[in-house]
Structure 1
Amino acid sequence: MLMTTTSREVPEPGALMGGDAAALYRLLTWLSPAFPVGGFSYSSGIEWAVEAGDIHDAQTLRDWLAAMLADGSGFCDGVFLLHAHRAVEAGDHAALREVAELAAAFVPSRERQLETVSQGRAFVETARAAWNCPGLEQALARCESPIVYPVAVGIVSAAHAIPLDPTLHAFLHALVSNWISAGSRLIPLGQTDSQHVLSSLEGVVAATAERARLASLDDIGSATFRADLASLRHETQYTRLFRS
């Protein structure tokens, strides 16, 4: 008698199975604009850059964000996420405390501190409430300083055994997507132009992730002085839509 198999018994080539499907589902959820970390409230200084005329169209927005990704907060946050993830995987509590403390101290302005700490707190609280898992509470308890956003993502993803590389790429994609969302409202840009900017930054995101993957904490540094000044000057901007 001939035996037949069903699609349930023999998965299609390339199909996601088990842990891979769960990891993808969680990353898509946690780094979605719908996840309640309040990212829509922050512009990372882009609001001042638009008012000052540094950003005025799709190309200038793209150039500004490429610099922030490769030489500014994008790269630094990627390194912090990576080392937090590795520390949790290794059960190295001293290393996790070091990363958390350095990341909390590294932001250049009061408003950027508010942005990353608030989003980190919201990310942790929501993960605890809806996505708790063994080891997460223990890892969080080891951080004596405020848990900033990239460290929070690194801790939670490692506690759920989600691989580092897709987590890092997804985080940087979410970061640049939120920046573009702020820019599109401020310039303003249409939806198609916004997608052109996102498409043009694909290679920068990949290159930044690769640099971060190979970096030590000693390699962290920023050269985006204009963006840092923008985050400082936003504090006294006369009219504002965003909190940073």
Structure 2
Amino acid sequence: MISLTGTDLLMVAQWLSPSSPTGGFSFSQGLEAAVSDGLDVSGLEDWIDGMLRFGSGRTDAILMASAARGEEVDDLALALAGSAGRRRELTETGAALQLLLRDSFALETAATAYPVVLGEAVRVRGLPVEPVAALYLQATVTALVHAGQRLLPLGQSRAQAMIHALGAVCCEIAEEAARSDIEEIGMATFSADIAAMRQAELPVRLFRS
């Protein structure tokens, strides 16, 4: 893996930080509906692992890597959204990231979907794809675990252990994504996709997806 060091490392960490004003904390990618259907703490790590390996995690990492190579994948990213909530998540967080990059880092991007905006920023700054993809996936894991803490009896220590345990998966997928092209995208998280569709029908919701 080509390393990401110094101020570039800190810059990317800032882009992907939970404190970054992209609004990612308000989305759960269907996790809330899955919990409503019976998912408990014991199944949360496997649920997130599946999202990383076979769902939005791997797909978004490949889209980001493709955008970093200068490929036009924004329309594809939106077409791959499995629900209205997921599409809204991609576009609203993407627009917020675009504003952040422009106003705070003087980086101009043109894409709509969040991972594609990130990929364009990686290309403009000449950053290595693999470590950025790993950090992006870890940020996704962190957001989902934090969503799990709001929905389930999941304490801080166990939550941090879960994020740490999934770190190896993040690195594995980031390495694969950095050398993959869009034709290698494939998703098979049917239960999670259905949960994301059902999210909008919940009578009371904490999250927007």
TM norm structure 1: 0.81
1:72 equivalent in alignment to 2:55: yes
| Distance in 1 separating the partners of 2:179 and 2:69 | 12
In structure 1, what is the equivalent of residue 99 of structure 2?
125
In structure 2, what is the equivalent of residue 214 of structure 1?
179
Contact 1:27 1:167 in 2 (8 A): yes
Bigger radius of gyration among the two: 1
Moved more, 203-212 or 71-80: 203-212
Quote the offset at 1:214 in angstroms.
2.5
Write the letter of the residue equivalent to 2:60. D
| Distance in 1 separating the partners of 2:28 and 2:153 | 14
In structure 2, what is the equivalent of residue 101 of structure 1?
75
Contact 2:33 2:202 in 1 (8 A): yes
In structure 2, what is the equivalent of residue 29 of structure 1?
14
Contact 2:130 2:177 in 1 (8 A): no
Write the letter of the residue equivalent to 1:241. L
| Aligned partner of 2:40 among 50, 56, 71 | 56
| Distance in 2 separating the partners of 1:192 and 1:22 | 30
Contact 1:37 1:119 in 2 (8 A): yes
Contact 2:131 2:174 in 1 (8 A): no
Residues paired across the two proteins, number: 207
In structure 2, what is the equivalent of residue 201 of structure 1?
166
Quote the offset at 1:164 in angstroms.
1.2
1:81 equivalent in alignment to 2:64: yes
Moved more, 19-28 or 110-119: 19-28
Quote the offset at 1:102 in angstroms.
0.7
Unaligned runs of 5+ in 2: none
Quote the offset at 1:240 in angstroms.
0.4
Contact 1:82 1:164 in 2 (8 A): yes
Write the letter of the residue equivalent to 1:74. G
TM norm structure 2: 0.95
Residue deviations 1:53-98, cap 9 Å, x none?
Answer: 0x211x31000000000000000000000000111xxxxxxx32xx
In structure 1, what is the equivalent of residue 86 of structure 2?
112
Write the letter of the residue equivalent to 2:26. S
Quote the offset at 1:184 in angstroms.
1.1
5 Å-filtered alignment, 1:151-230, equals 151-230=116-195
Quote the offset at 1:157 in angstroms.
2.2
Unaligned runs of 5+ in 1: 1-15, 88-94
Contact 1:61 1:183 in 2 (8 A): yes
Following TM superposition, the consecutive aligned residue runs of length 4 or more in structure 1 with deviations greater than 2 angstroms are none
| Distance in 2 separating the partners of 1:48 and 1:20 | 39
